[in-house]
Amino acid sequence: MAQEELNFKKIIPIAIIAVAIIVLIAFWSRMTITVDAGNGGVLFKTFSGGLDTENTYGEGFHFIAPWNKMYIYEVRQQEVNEDMNVLSSNGLEIKVDVSIWYQPSYAELGLLHSKIGQSYLQRIVLPSLRSSTRSVIGRYTPEDIYSTKRDLIQDEIFDETSEILKDKYVQVNRILIRSIVLPPTIKQAIEGKLKQEQESLEYEFKLEKAQKEAERQRIDAEGKAAANLILSASLTDKILKEKGIEATLNLANSPNSKVIVIGNSDGLPIILGDSK
C-alpha cells in the first residue's frame, strides 16, 4: 500500500507537467503574437477591463493571456483613390479622381478601435474625402477647375478633410487630384477660350515689342540729329581750311605724281590730277 502511494505521488508531478505541456501546445497560438513591421497592436483583455486604450503594442513578439485578443492595425502611410461625379458652381457634372494619403494615429490606436473600428477607412476616411471634394469643387467653375485653380482646390480639399478627421484618430498627409474629366463640349469651349487668350497675349507682346523698337529708333534718330547739329556748329571756315591743308600735305607726300595749284579763292589747293 505504501509502495502504491509512493508511486502515485511520483506520477502527480509528471501528470501536471504533461497537462501543462498539452495546454501550452494547445493555446500557444493564442498566447503569442508577432506584430509585423509597420503595424501596431491593440489588446482586448477579456477578464480585466476590456480594451486597453492607453497602450499600443509595437513591432515584435508578444506574450498574451490565451483568453485575451490583440487587433492589428497597419500604421504606415496608406493611399486610396476615389472616382466621383461632382457638380461645379454652375451645375455642370464633372468626373474627378482624387487620392488621399492617410494613416491612423499610432498613439491612439486603442481609441480608434474603440470608437470606430478596423473598418475606419470605409466608415470615416472615404466619406470625409467625398464630402470635402464635393463641397470644394462646388465653389468653382469648370474653367477654374480645368486651368488655374487645381493646386488651390487640392489644398482646400486637404484642409476640409483634415478638419473633419481631426478628432477621429486618423492623420491626413496629402490630397492629390489625379484627373479631372469635363463634358466634351465644355472642354472644347474652355480650350478655345484659352487659345484665344494666348493669341491675344502674343499679339500684345508683339505690339509692345514694335512700340519699343519704334521708340528706340526715334531716340537714336534724335541723338544723331543732335550730334549733326553740334558737328555743324563746330565746323568753321578756319577748321575747314586747316583740314584742307592737312589733306594737301598728305597728298603731296604720296608717291603718285599730280599737279597741285595753291592759292584758290577760298584758300584751299586745287588738285588737277595725276600727271601720268
CATH 3.30.479.30 correct for 78-182 = yes
Tens-place pLDDT, residues 130-189: 999 999 999 988 777 776 678 899 999 999 999 999 999 999 999 999 888 887 766 566
pLDDT band at 110 (very low <50, low <70, confident <90, very high): very high
Tens-place pLDDT, residues 31-48: 788 999 999 999 999 888
pLDDT score of 276 more than 50: no
Domain boundaries, the chain: 2-74, 78-182, 184-234, 240-274
User: Is 69 in contact with 44 (CB distance < 8 Å)?
Assistant: yes
For residue 99, give every residue at least 6 positions away whose Cβ sits within 8 Å of its Cβ, in sequence order, or none.
Answer: 79, 80, 81, 82, 175, 176, 177, 178
pLDDT band at 111 (very low <50, low <70, confident <90, very high): very high
pTM strictly above 0.85: no
Residue type, 257: S
The three cell numbers locating residue 216: 528706340
Tens-place pLDDT, residues 47-69: 888 999 999 999 998 888 888 89
Tens-place pLDDT, residues 216-233: 787 887 777 777 676 666
More confident residue, 1 or 61: 61
How many percent of the chain have pLDDT more than 70?
64
Give buried/exposed letters for 230-254 (b at 16+ CB in 10 A, else e): eeeeeeeeeeeeeeeeeebeeeeee
